[in-house]
Amino acid sequence: MSSITLHGVAALENPRVIPTKDGKKGKMTVLDGQLFLPSSEPALIGSFHFFNENNLDLPDVGCYSIGVRIARTTPAVEVYSKTLAPVDYHVIGDIFSLIPLGSTDKFDLRHLSSIAICGVPTNIDRDNATFDLNAEQYLHATRSSEAFPTQCIIPNSPKFKNYKPIPSKGKSVSVTGFLTGLERNEDKTVKYFIVDVDTVTFLGQPAGSTAPKAEESPTKISNGTPANLKFTGFFWEQLQIRGACSKEAQDF
């Protein structure tokens, strides 16, 4: 059993309602999302589904506190966009909590996203205090289980001065931490996400299951690297103004 949830401050834009099978206007809405990453990329880019049960007014661009069940993007997911393809996103997900915060140009977006992952660790490196988790969960976006491969790093911080909670092979853990980056494959697709660990809870031996095996490159596409992202929001401009945008972000 595994799961992945993320909480963070996001710039959400381009809301588009998915029509029902009978052609009527539905409540399931797809939004493009951007969340701050302090390293490797200027932002985490996501395609998120939100069931707008209470008919919340969703502007073209807005800032929100969100809770989302996420996974790495897949080449077959429908993003309901004429200009963006699945490979233009890092993650896909289902939003279960959405709190409006106001306009993106009036709110500092530089907040780390917190993440909670349950799964069975692999590639445990006790010397460097790192381990991998390849948790999977069901998403509405694909109507199937999707993976969120992570490399978890226990930092050299005062909190772990005397003891680092390194998990054991084959034993389930629940990890909370902060999403700080991602690693790409040679074709620029996402290989895994990087999490700085805050807590580790040991859950014991999983019943009748084994750790899921990470695929080599499930998001790989045959026509080369992804196209440049095209968003109408203010995320990039705000990062540049506040001095948080790297040269890689400016060239992205």
User: Could you tell me the mean pLDDT of each successive run of 10 residues in the chain, 252 residues long?
Assistant: 92 90 83 88 90 91 95 89 86 96 81 95 94 94 92 93 90 94 88 95 71 47 39 49 36 34
Buried-exposed string 20-37: b where 16+ CB fall within 10 A, e elsewhere: eeeeeeeebbbbbbbbbb
How many structural domains are present in the chain? 2
- pTM score: 0.81
State the pLDDT at residue 221.
37
State the pLDDT at residue 251.
36
Indicate whether 216 belongs to any domain.
no
State the pLDDT at residue 216.
45
Q: What is the CATH number of the domain that holds 80?
A: 2.40.50.140
Indicate whether 238 belongs to any domain.
yes
State the pLDDT at residue 231.
55
Residue range(s) defining the domain that contains residue 85: 3-107+232-246
State the pLDDT at residue 81.
85
Shared domain check, 175 and 123: yes
Instruction: Convert the pLDDT of each residue in 58-86 to its tens digit.
Output: 999 999 999 999 999 988 888 888 788 88
State the pLDDT at residue 166.
92
